[in-house]
Every structure is written in structure tokens, then in C-alpha cells.
Amino acid sequence: MSTRRRHEMSDLKTAAGMPGGTQSHAPQGSPPQGRQRIWPSVLGVVSVAGLLIGANMLVDARLPQVQWDVTSNRIYTLSDSTVSVLSHLQSPITLKFFYSPPLGARIPKYGSYADRVREMLEQYKRLSHGMLSIEFYNPEPFSETEDRAIGNGLQGVPLDQSGEQVYFGLVGLNRLDGRKIIPFFQPDRERFLEYDLTRLIYDLTDPQKPVVGLLTDLPIMGSGQSLVSTRRMGPMKPWAIVNTLKEVADLRPVPISAQWIDPGIQTLIVVHPQHLSEVMQYAIDQFIMRGGKLLLAVDPDSETQALLPPDPAQKRQQDGPPSYASNLPKLLSGWGVLYDPDTVVLDPNGAWRVRTEDMKTGSTNYLAWFNDRDGLNRHDPITADLTQVTVAAAGALRKAPDAKISFEPLLSSSPESGSIPSIRTSHDPDPQRIAAEFHPSGGPRVLAARIRGHLKSAFSGKPDSVASLKDLPDYLPETKGDADIVILSDSDIFADRFWVHGSDFFGKETLQPFSDNGIFLSRIVSALTGNKALGGIGGSSITVRPFTVVETMNRNAQGRFRQASLALQTRLQAAQDKLIALRQGQSGDGAAMDDDAISAAQEKEIQSAQQEIQESRKKLRLVEHDLSKDISTLETRLRLLDIGAVPLALIAIALGIATIRRIRRQRARR
């Protein structure tokens, strides 16, 4: 047999598994080798799945309180205040949760929120040591359960055009027949869920709330006045902050004309004190000397007051335009605090975008109104976990060089901030020109501060205006202990339009905060009154995750726009002045010239000025257009990157793993 023939026979034996080949013959009747490799893998997957399910059931049954919250704001972790309220319950409380499953089936976000409420209620029950019982109800249409929901004051909402009502609320009862309800859980208030539940339970324990007085000329508690410069007519309702403060305190108004602060008031809130008499200033001073706590809000420019009808009495006493500034110089200097009511702080970081009067140039940043994010004191419980507080035309506070007090900033502007005279913002403000002329200077400025320490009275004794008054306590020259005062340089921080949106939900007004002003003020009051029960909750902070690159580019572009805009506006104004001068120049008395009296040279200059005006306006529009285009392009790129980055990364990882496996298989075959 030839050599070639022997090689061919050897190859056939090898391929067939015959003796003389390198592969062994598989036993007869055995399954294919590929199937043998698959079954162990299937059994392994089934075993792992079984172990995971069993472990999950075991943990759920044996360790129900073990949780791991990996969210950025730890929204699933209960605060120490909630744990304290639940662990100190002295009498049983029953919570009845009414929820219509068709609501979640039709609108999934309500179903997810209902699961969250149910889970949190169960968590509350575990922490209450048996003092809290939870009952769940499905209020089906025309059932006794639905009648019970309606009887308890829960809000029914039509699910569709058939008129079927659905419910999603909570009723809390104590053994004294006290009742508190949440008429309808709004998903927009999900970040306040812990606060709403804990407040309901806390109110059912019938606590004695601290008495807090409110002294102000602003219509915070409501008023028969209507705002000017708005289409809203009729009396003003109480501001949203009133209900927020009433949740932690017994809020009582203090008349401006009062001669003394009621001894039953533990903490006093003074907002925008413009025309306080010497008697009232002395009353505030002695209130502090006797150990009372104070929240004072002064303002270099009250945006809210500017919208109110002018006070006829004050208007008669003033010469010139009305003042929207407030100050208590005698008291502040006595406490060692410096404040200039003629200066407003500007900050490009977080500045509000507002429409300009000239619709052709669109909108611009108003540097006097800004959301303060980076200036929050992260070491103070009042502001530690807040996201942003909004201020409007705020002033600056400083500690006097010789003051012997503790001066702790709670809120500060950014290092890129600056300031301007308050007259620039209070009367006919021009956001475009303010932005164009802005130059950062002076570094961060304190907008809110807490001062503590031993204080002396700002009065050397009873003033003459007080001496004739009867039944007043004796004069105290200094505080008995350490005073505790929080000072804000902005009163608009209380106003609705700077922190909360209102909307109608089937006939009932709902409020959705967009800034943490309400939490900020509520925590200040809780800290001053010593009410720790709800002060540590206040609602989880606003979740704001801005495009920092976009904001940086926006600020840079705004800077370029301000410079170009200022130059073009200067050229535009010069051209307009020139045109006016050309039309009136030859008459000598300011009267316009006749067309026949205008020479050819003057006509040419007029046309040149008109052309300059048109070109300047065109360039202004182009600058604004380029600014918007640059920002829009970057936002689009970031959105595409945000949408496509994760899928592309997963695809790349999958392809990489597949390539590695293929290479390993090829090596194994060799």
C-alpha cells in the first residue's frame, strides 16, 4: 500500500473513532456529548435560583427590620425624630389605610406610591412596640367601606367618565376619639411622606405645641387687600408658610400697635419691621432679655411689599418714591450685627431666568433672585440636608468686630457674588443692565445667621415713651442666660411665589414646594422652641441634579452676552440720542424741525443713525440667539449621551465578554 493510501486510512480511522485513531468511541446508547454539557448548567441555574428564593423568604420572615438604603438622599431611611415619636407612644393609635387598586392599575405611579405608603406604615408599626395598629381597606364602589371612607372625610376622585370614585387616603384614630386624616396621597408630595405620617401620629398624641408670635405688616396671615400688578382679585389667603409653621407651633398674631409681648409667647417671629414704634422695639428687646427666642427677617427690598397697595399714612409721611427696606438698627447694633438696608446681594449661581420687557431679546438671568445651594451650612441640623433655599433681593449680615457673640452663618451667597444699591432693584429694575454691569466682588456674603451669647439691652433704661405705661415688667439690663436669635436678610423667603406652586386637584388646592424655604423656616422655629419632635424631619430635601456643565456654560455665555449686550446697548442709545438731536438740533427750542428745513447732509446723518439703530438691534438678537443655540446644543448632546451611554456601555461589555469566551474556546480546542 502506498504511503498516501496509508495516510488516508489513518485519517478515516481517526474521524470514525476506530482503533488506531486518537478519539475514543462513545458507549452505545449514551446521549450526545453536547447534551451532557447542557444539563449540569441547567441544574446549576435552577439550584442557584432556588437558593436565592429560599434565602429571600428566610430573610423576609426572620429579619423584617433589616434594610439597606442606597438612594442618594436616603429617602427610605426614617429620621431619628420619627423613631423617637414612635418609640414614645403612650396610648394605642389606629391607622386606617384606604386604597382603590383600580387607581394603580390605571395610573401606575399611584400603584407604586401606594406600595411605598404600605411599606412605610408596616415599618412604623414595627417601631411602635405594639402601640400602632394598621388596617387596610379597599373601598369598592357602593360598598360600606366606601361609605366609611367618605364619612371620615377622605377625598374621592373620579377614575373615568363613568364617575367611579377611587380613594387613596389615611385616617388616624386615638382612644379619645381624636381623628386626623390625609384626604388623598399626592405623588408630588412623596418626599414629604415620612413627615406627613409622623405629623399625623404626633398630632394624635395631643401634644402641647409651643406658642409662637408673629409680628409683621405683611399679609402673611391673610388680608382683605388684593395684590397690585396681578390679575388676582379679592382678599389674600394666608400664605403657605402659615400652615407649615402651625404644624410645629401654636402660631398667634401680635399686633404692631401692641405695647408688650405676651409672656405666654416662647418664640417671636418678626418679619419686615418697617415702622416699629419705640415702644414695640423696647418690648422686643426686653422679650430677649427675659429669655425669649427670636426669628427676625429684615429686608433691603421687599418684593412682596412692592406688590401691595401703598399705605396712605406712610405715603403722606414720605418724600419721593416709597421705600421697601426694613431695619432695626438700634437692636441689631446692640446685638453686634451689622446690616446695610441700602445694599442688595447679587449672585449668578442659581439666578432665576426671567422674561425681559423687550420681547425681542427674550429672557435673562435676574441676579437678585437666586436659589442658594452651595451656601447652605452643612454642619448645622437646620440646613445640613437641604438642597436649596430661594432668596429675592436679600441683604448681607456681618458680625461687628467687637461683638462677643457666637455668629453662625446658616445661608451664604457664592464666592462669585456681588452687590448693588437697593434702589436699583426696588424701583423699575432692569435685569439685563444689572447683569451686564455685574462684577463679582467681596466673596461670599452671609444671608442668614444664628447668634447666641450673653447680650446687653439696647436701651439704657425705660424710654420716655414707655415710662407712662402701666403694668409693665421691670427693666432688665441684660439677658439672664444666653440669647438665641436667628436673623434673615430677606423677608421674601416667606412668600409663596419664591418656594411653592399651587394647583387645583378636583376642587382642592394642593401645594408643591420647588424650594426648601418652608422646611428651612419650620426647622428654625423648631430649633428655637426646642421642639425636637418634628424639627428633625421637615420633609426630605428637594432633589435637584442640575447639569453642572450646562450651568457653567450658561454662566460663561451669559458673561459674554452681558459684555456684548452692554456694548450694543450703548451704541443703540448713542444712535437714538443722535437721531433725536438731529431732528431737534436746528430749532434751538427743542421743537422738531420741518422736513423742508432738513438739509441733505442732515438727512444722510439721520438715515445713518436709523441704520445704526437697526443694526444694533439685529446684533442684539443674534447674540441672544447664539446664546440660546449654544446652550440648547450642549443640552441635546448631554441628553443623547445620558440616553445612549448606558446601552452602549452594556453592548461593549457584552461584546468584550463574548470575544474573551471565543478566544478561550479556540485555545482549548488547540
Please give the pLDDT value at position 415. Answer: 94
116-123 LR contacts (CB < 8 Å, sep 24+): 116/190, 116/193, 117/170, 117/185, 117/193, 120/193, 120/194, 120/197, 121/95, 121/97, 121/197, 123/65, 123/78
Domain edges within the chain: 80-204, 209-225+234-307+321-343+393-414+444-532, 564-575+613-669
Whether the pLDDT of residue 177 is over 70: the answer is: yes
Burial code of 119-152, b = ≥16 C-beta within 10 A, e = fewer? ebbebbbebbeebbebeebebeeeeebbeebeeb
Hey, which of 194-203, 222-231, 640-649 has the most confident mean pLDDT?
194-203
Please give the pLDDT value at position 148. Answer: 94
Q: What value does the mean pLDDT take over residues 200-210? A: 86
Cα distance between residue 370 and residue 416, in whole Å: 13
Of residues 9 and 121, more confidently modeled: 121
Whether the pLDDT of residue 574 is over 80: the answer is: no
Q: What is the DSSP annotation of 281-343?
A: HHHHHHHHHTT-EEEEE-BSS-TTGGGSPPPHHHHHH--SSPP--B--HHHHHHHTEEE-TTE
Render pLDDT for 279-302 as a digit per residue (tens, 0 to 9): 999 999 999 999 999 999 999 999
Whether the pLDDT of residue 596 is over 80: the answer is: no
Whether the pLDDT of residue 231 is over 60: the answer is: no
Q: Which three cell numbers stand for residue 333?
A: 447694633
Please give the pLDDT value at position 21. Answer: 44
Length of the chain: 670
Cα 48 to chain centroid distance, Å, stands at 45
Q: How confident is the model at residue 22 (pLDDT cuts 50, 70, 90)?
A: very low
Please give the pLDDT value at position 427. Answer: 82
Cα 174 to chain centroid distance, Å, stands at 34
Please give the pLDDT value at position 302. Answer: 96
Q: Mean pLDDT score of the chain, rounded to an integer?
A: 81
Q: What value does the mean pLDDT take over residues 53-65? A: 62
Please give the pLDDT value at position 530. Answer: 81
* Per CATH, domain 80-204 is 3.40.30.10: yes
Hey, which of 119-128, 192-201, 571-580 has the most confident mean pLDDT?
119-128
Whether the pLDDT of residue 443 is over 80: the answer is: yes
Q: Which residues pair with 457 in a beta bridge?
A: none
Q: What value does the mean pLDDT take over residues 612-619? A: 70
Secondary-structure percent of the chain, ordered helix, strand, coil, rounded to 5: 45, 20, 40
Find the range with the poorest average confidence among 9-23, 316-330, 601-615: 9-23
Q: What value does the mean pLDDT take over residues 16-25? A: 45
Whether the pLDDT of residue 552 is over 60: the answer is: yes
Hey, which of 33-47, 50-64, 556-570, 612-626 has the most confident mean pLDDT?
612-626
Please give the pLDDT value at position 24. Answer: 46
Question: What residues have CB less than 8 Å from 181, skipping those under 6 apart?
Answer: 152, 153, 154, 169, 170, 171, 172, 200
Q: How confident is the model at residue 611 (pLDDT cuts 50, 70, 90)?
A: confident
374 near 548, Cβ under 8 Å?
A: no
Whether the pLDDT of residue 362 is over 70: the answer is: no
Instruction: Classify residue 600 as exposed, middle or buried by CB count within 10 Å of its CB (0-12, 13-18, 19+).
Output: exposed
Q: What is the DSSP annotation of 328-360?
A: -HHHHHHHTEEE-TTEEEE-STTEEEEE-SSGG
Find the range with the poorest average confidence among 1-15, 35-49, 475-489, 532-546: 1-15
HEC assignment per residue over 126-159: HHCCCCEEEEEECCCCCCHHHHHHHHCCCCCEEC
Whether the pLDDT of residue 142 is over 80: the answer is: yes
Whether the pLDDT of residue 57 is over 80: the answer is: no
Q: What value does the mean pLDDT take over residues 43-58? A: 69
Query: What distances in angstroms separate CA 509 from CA 222, 234, 503, one per listed residue?
Result: 16, 17, 6
Please give the pLDDT value at position 455. Answer: 95
Question: What residues have CB less than 8 Å from 604, skipping those under 6 apart?
Answer: none
Share of the chain above pLDDT 70, in %: 71
CA angle, 387 as apex, 560 and 188 as ends, to 5°?
110
Please give the pLDDT value at position 236. Answer: 80
Render pLDDT for 448-473 as a digit per residue (tens, 0 to 9): 999 999 999 999 999 988 878 888 88
Neighbours of 79 (CB within 10 A): 19
